[in-house]
Structures are given as C-alpha cells and as structure tokens.
Amino acid sequence: MKQVQRGFTLIELVMVIVILGVLAAVALPKFIDLKADAQAAAVQGVAGGIASASAVNYAARSVTQSHGTKTSNMSCQNAAAAILQSGVPSGYTVADVTTPGVSATPGTASDCTVTQTDGGKTATAVIISIN
C-alpha cells in the first residue's frame, strides 16, 4: 500500500516562519523613519513653492508694475506671505538669513529659511527682489 503525503512537514513550516522573521527584521527599519522623511519633503515643498511664486512674481512685476508684489526691503516672512496666494501655510515660518531679509536691489536673490514648527525641519527658499 502506497502512502500519500498530505500537507507540510514541521521543518518546512519552521523554515517559512524563520524566513518571514528575517525579512521582517530587515524591512521594518526602512519603514520606521517615514515621518521624518515626509516632514523633510513637506518643508522642501513649501520652500519650492515660495521660490516658484517669487519667480512668477518677479516676471509679472518686470513686465508691468501693476501686476505682482513689491518684495524689496521686506522681511522674508512678509515677502513670502505677500507672494503666495494663500500666504505661508500654517505650521511653517519663514525667517531672514541676513538683514534685511530681501535685498533692496531689484533682481537680487535672497535666501530665506523655511522652518516647520512641528518637526523642526528646515529648507532654504530664494526670494527675488523687485520694486
């Protein structure tokens, strides 16, 4: 009489559990620090939005003085709030790297530090001065 094998042996089941345990131990640390990466990406996105709005504002004001916002001799916080459509997002502050924040000389790029108040992550935004 021939015996038919059914199911898995205990050794096979233990090996699968061990392999899954090793994979979990290797993969888990890669997913733990996602919050810090997301916060860094968010603050870089806000800084990029400020820099982009500044470039659009500079172009619009260069074409005609009736469009765009004057940004020369302003603090970085005030300039960012003026050029962004809805102002600086809540949870972020924009600080001057040098004094004054935005240069008085038209066409001069000034660095401003964008800080996330919750996570403390920072990024640099460039605001172009225009009269």
pLDDT in tens, 35-62: 888 899 999 999 999 999 999 999 988 8
In this prediction, the residues of the chain whose per-residue pLDDT falls under 70 are 1
Based on the structure, what is the number of domains in the chain? 1
**Cα–Cα distance, 72 to 61 (Å, whole number):** 12
Strand-by-strand arrangement of the 122-128 sheet? 92-96, 109-116, 122-128
Residue-level pLDDT at 20: 94
Is residue 76 a part of any domain in this protein? yes
Q: Residue 120 is part of which domain span?
A: 35-128
The phi and psi torsions of 56 (rounded to 5 degrees) equal: -65, -40
CA 89 to each of CA 13, 70, 73, 83, 114: distance values in angstroms, whole numbers, following the listed order: 53, 20, 22, 12, 11
> What pLDDT, on the 0 to 100 scale, is given for residue 101?
78
pTM here is: 0.73
Q: Are 47 and 92 in contact (CB under 8 A)?
A: no
